[in-house]
């Protein structure tokens, strides 16, 4: 494991609002492909000379988007494309990782704390060029974890248990090419009024390799969510017996 510290002076800019968080890192089959604003992290246990790659469009800060009709819902507020793509093979095991502060991957701290309970979702969008696309196209869902009324475990609880990590298998039959991967956590602690739900998302730019042909239908952002969806306008403290995860069904291939 190697850390490349760009500058620690920027730490002063890190917001300290309790519970706010950012998906910062992406692992592919157990290897980190990088990134945070402060520290470029590189882990490949079998090759310590590999290039550092930064394919995350890191949000400007860890504040949530709260307006479901805003274009910010695509890839977070104020983000712009970055140059690198992460190479991912169809059928690969991709992990996205959330933490509260930029570059702070300390597993003793909650990935998303402050009672920010809610679902965790991952979408993909096939694009012509992941290093320039705005995310205005069609998104299909590849993973989700909502709420289990028996265990009372939310998707965000699982993030906290797993040091911020959420893994999913890229459907093996997807057509190769450039994609955006949109990792999202939705915090519902104050979601009992319209506009209360907090959406935390990061887009990663990938180049998918493989020989599949599937191009699943999808949804758009904004458009996929309504402020009054049952999984968005909700009092989670009301002895929940079920939970409806926002967005479309997961495409499993």
Ligand X SMILES: *[C@@H]1O[C@H](CO)[C@@H](O)[C@H](O)[C@H]1NC(C)=O
What residues line the site for ligand X (CB under 6 A)?
A: 28, 30-31, 44, 46-47, 50, 67, 69-70, 85, 93, 95, 167, 169, 207, 209
250 near 142, Cβ under 8 Å?
A: yes
Residue in the shown chain whose Cβ atom is closest to Cu ion: 19
Under rule CB under 5 A, residue 59 binds Cu ion: no
Class of residue 72 by CB neighbours under 10 A (exposed 0-12, middle 13-18, buried 19+): buried
* Nearer of residues 54 and 66 to Cu ion, judged by Cβ: 66
32 near 43, Cβ under 8 Å?
A: yes
Helix, strand, or coil (residue 110): coil
* Nearer of residues 87 and 192 to Cu ion, judged by Cβ: 192
CB neighbour list of residue 189: distance below 8 Å, 6 or more residues apart: 19, 114, 115, 116, 117, 118, 236
Residue 140 C-beta: closest distance to Cu ion, Å = 27
How many residues contact Cu ion, by CB under 5 A? 2
Looking at residues 9 to 48 of the shown chain, list those that interact with Cu ion (rule: CB under 5 A).
19
Residue 211 C-beta: closest distance to Cu ion, Å = 43
* Nearer of residues 97 and 110 to ligand X, judged by Cβ: 97
* Nearer of residues 140 and 168 to ligand X, judged by Cβ: 168
Q: Comparing C-alpha atoms, which of 130, 121, 141, 136 is closest to residue 204?
A: 130
* Nearer of residues 117 and 139 to Cu ion, judged by Cβ: 117
Q: Tell me how far apart the alpha carbons of residues 202 and 74 are, in angstroms, rounded to a whole number.
A: 9
Looking at residues 199 to 238 of the shown chain, list those that interact with Cu ion (rule: CB under 5 A).
none
Residue in the shown chain whose Cβ atom is closest to ligand X: 47
Q: Comparing C-alpha atoms, which of 242, 171, 183 is closest to residue 208?
A: 171
Q: Which residues bind Cu ion (CB under 5 A)?
A: 19, 198
């Amino acid at each position: 494991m190697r850390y490349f510290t760009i500058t620690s002076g920027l730490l002063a800019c890190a917001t300290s609002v309790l519970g706010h968080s950012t998906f910062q890192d992406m692992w592919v089959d157990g290897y980190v492909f990088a990134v945070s604003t402060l520290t470029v992290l590189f882990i490949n246990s079998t090759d310590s000379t590999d290039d550092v790659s930064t394919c995350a469009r890191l949000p400007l800060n860890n504040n949530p988007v709260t307006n479901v009709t805003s274009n910010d819902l695509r890839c977070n507020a104020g983000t712009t494309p970055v140059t690198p793509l992460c190479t991912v093979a169809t059928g690969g095991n991709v992990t996205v990782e959330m933490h509260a502060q930029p570059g702070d991957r300390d597993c003793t701290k909650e990935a998303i704390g402050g009672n920010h309970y809610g679902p965790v979702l991952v979408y993909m969008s096939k694009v012509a060029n992941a290093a320039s696309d705005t995310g205005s196209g069609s998104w299909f869902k590849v993973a989700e974890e909502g709420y289990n009324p028996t265990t009372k475990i939310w998707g965000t609880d699982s993030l906290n248990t797993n040091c911020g990590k959420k893994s999913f298998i890229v459907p093996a039959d997807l057509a190769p090419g450039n994609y955006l991967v949109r990792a999202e956590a939705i915090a519902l602690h104050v979601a009992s009024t319209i506009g209360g739900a907090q959406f935390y998302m990061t887009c990663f730019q990938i180049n998918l390799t493989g020989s599949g042909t599937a191009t699943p239908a999808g949804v758009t952002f904004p458009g996929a969510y309504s402020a009054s969806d049952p999984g968005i306008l909700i009092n989670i403290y009301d002895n929940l017996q079920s939970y409806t995860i926002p967005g479309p069904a997961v495409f499993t291939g």
